[in-house]
């Protein structure tokens, strides 16, 4: 892996990269939601089931994508591919933050209130 892996850091210094494991699919989606809010882009679920999570940029022809699979029979999800490069135009980036769930907003605001 070394320096060639794609990295994304959220405010909690967690990272996403090819090969990274997450305890649950929900944890992975939450981290990517934090990142999307900070970077002002939106993603959508292209496919999701018990063993697969495939996310893509909301913009039609953008190459940003993340694909993770469940390992064995556990709950852990492993990132199998991650293209962390947006090919969509900056003016097309949305500020709606469709991934901004109450949990994510709470995690962003709570540290500022302490």
DSSP 104: H
pLDDT range class, residue 24, cuts 50, 70, 90: very high
- Pairwise CA distance, residues 52 & 74, whole Å: 13
Which among 23, 62, 72, 18 has a CA at the least distance from the CA of 39?
62
- Which three-class secondary structure state does DSSP give residue 7? coil
The pLDDT of residue 106 is: 59
> 23-43 burial by CB neighbour count: b if 16+ within 10 A, else e?
eebeebbbbbbbbbbeeebbb
Q: Comparing C-alpha atoms, which of 68, 74, 75, 34 is closest to residue 54? A: 68
**pTM beyond cutoff 0.85:** no
Q: What is the pLDDT of residue 12?
A: 40
């Amino acid at each position: 892996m070394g320096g060639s892996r794609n990295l994304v850091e959220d405010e909690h210094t967690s990272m996403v990269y090819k090969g990274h494991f997450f305890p649950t699919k929900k944890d992975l989606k939450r981290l990517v939601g934090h990142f999307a809010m900070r970077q002002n882009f939106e993603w959508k679920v292209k496919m999701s089931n018990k063993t697969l999570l495939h996310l893509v940029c909301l913009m039609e022809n953008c190459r940003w994508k993340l694909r993770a699979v469940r390992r064995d029979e556990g709950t852990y999800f492993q990132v199998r591919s991650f293209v962390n490069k947006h090919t969509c135009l900056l003016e097309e980036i949305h500020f709606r933050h469709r991934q901004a769930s109450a949990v994510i907003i709470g995690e962003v605001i709570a540290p500022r209130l302490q």
